[in-house]
């Protein structure tokens, strides 16, 4: 049986595929919502849609193979038309936390090289303030203990990520530190502070990168765009200022 959470991912993934046009070069994000997107995209490719994509993780590359989505890489093309990806948290200024699945570095490189960045989430990911979800920070293994100390001094508690009792290693051979800030009041500043630290490769804050967010609930898919969030934004029964 398909759970409500899975259903919401399927709904938003199906809608997102409508944003893909013939001939586009795509950035293909990572995570469970993207799994459904890749499946949908594969069906469109089967029907004759002509696209190529750059995957943001080995897992997404596997899905592309499974669903017959043609892949390319940055040696072939350095500008993408559209990148599509999930997120762990989205605030009302369209700033994101990503990296719950550990793919944040490649996701950021791919999103930065795309003309448009489309984020697909269900409504549970929309927050007033980022930070309830622990912020993933990718660090080089060498001296990670020192880097961790420096990050802690920015006001968080952190844990090095593990997977089934083993230290988690990213597709790039690095570690992930999951940092509990609780409420990130100035995401832009925190992003800069983290990136100024030696040993930090990237962090999961995606600042001023998102063009559009598709948000699914069980009845519909809503669109949140940059223009809308400058003033007051209504989302369902919640009104944000
Ligand atoms: O590293 C993982 C990515 O940033 C994902 O896009 C993010 O964790 C959301 O994943 P999901 O769609 O599984 O909630």
Task: Please give the residue range of the domain that contains residue 141.
Answer: 135-201
Ligand 1, residues 12, 88, 171: which to mutate, most atoms within 8 A of Cβ?
Answer: 88
Q: Are strands 221-225 and 25-28 parallel, antiparallel or unpaired?
A: unpaired
In testing the pocket of ligand 1, which one of 6, 30, 120, 172 has its CB within 8 Å of the most ligand atoms? 30
Going from the Cα of 98 to the center of ligand 1, the distance in angstroms, rounded, reads 6
ipTM exceeds 0.95: yes
- Does residue 241 belong to any structural domain of this protein? no
Shared-domain flag, residues 120 and 64 = yes
**pLDDT at 227 (0 to 100):** 61
Q: For residues 240 and 127, which has the higher predicted lDDT (pLDDT)?
A: 127
> Tell me, what CATH number does 77's domain have?
3.40.50.1360
Q: Tell me how far CA of residue 22 lies from CA of 38, 77, 137, 176, in angstroms.
A: 16, 17, 36, 37
User: Per-residue pLDDT tens for 200-223?
Assistant: 999 999 999 999 999 999 889 999
Do 184 and 139 lie in a common domain? yes
The answer to whether residues 102 and 175 belong to one domain is no
Q: Is residue 171 part of a domain?
A: yes
- Whether 173 and 91 share a structural domain: no
- For ligand 1, atom 6, the nearest C-alpha belongs to 86
Q: How many structural domains are present in the chain?
A: 2
Q: Look at residue 218 in the predicted model and tell me its pLDDT.
A: 85
Higher pLDDT, 228 or 219: 219
Residue 182: inside a domain? yes
| Assigned domain for 237 exists | no
Q: Are residues 212 and 154 in the same domain?
A: no
Nearest to 130 by CA among 212, 190, 215: 190
Does the CA dihedral 5-10-187-199 come out positive or negative?
A: positive
Say yes or no: 113 and 154 in one domain: no
Between CA 217 and CA 205 the distance in angstroms is 24
- Which distant-in-sequence residues (6+ apart) come within 8 Å of 177 by Cβ? 136, 137, 139, 144, 147, 148, 151, 158, 159, 160, 161
Atom of ligand 1 nearest to the CA of 98: 4
């Amino acid at each position: 049986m398909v759970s409500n959470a899975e259903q919401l991912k399927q709904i938003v993934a199906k809608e997102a595929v409508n944003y893909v046009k013939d001939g586009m070069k795509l950035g293909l994000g990572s995570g469970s919502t993207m799994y459904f997107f890749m499946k949908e995209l594969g069906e469109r490719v089967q029907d004759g849609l002509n696209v190529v994509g750059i995957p943001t993780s080995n897992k997404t590359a596997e899905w592309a193979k499974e669903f017959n989505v043609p892949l390319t890489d940055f040696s072939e093309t350095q500008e993408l038309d559209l990148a599509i990806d999930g997120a762990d948290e989205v605030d009302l200024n369209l700033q994101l936390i990503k990296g719950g699945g550990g793919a944040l570095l490649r996701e950021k490189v791919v999103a930065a090289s795309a003309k448009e960045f489309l984020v697909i989430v269900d409504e549970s990911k929309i927050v007033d303030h980022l930070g309830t979800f622990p912020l993933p920070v990718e660090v080089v293994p060498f001296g990670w203990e020192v880097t961790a100390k420096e990050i802690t001094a920015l006001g968080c508690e952190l844990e090095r990520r593990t997977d089934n009792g083993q230290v988690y290693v990213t597709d790039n051979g690095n570690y992930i530190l999951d940092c509990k800030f609780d409420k990130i009041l100035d995401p832009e500043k925190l992003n800069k502070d983290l990136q100024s630290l030696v040993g930090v490769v990237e962090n999961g804050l995606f600042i001023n990168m998102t063009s559009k967010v598709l948000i699914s609930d069980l009845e519909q898919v809503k669109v949140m765009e940059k223009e809308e969030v400058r003033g007051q934004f209504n989302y369902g029964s919640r009104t944000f200022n």
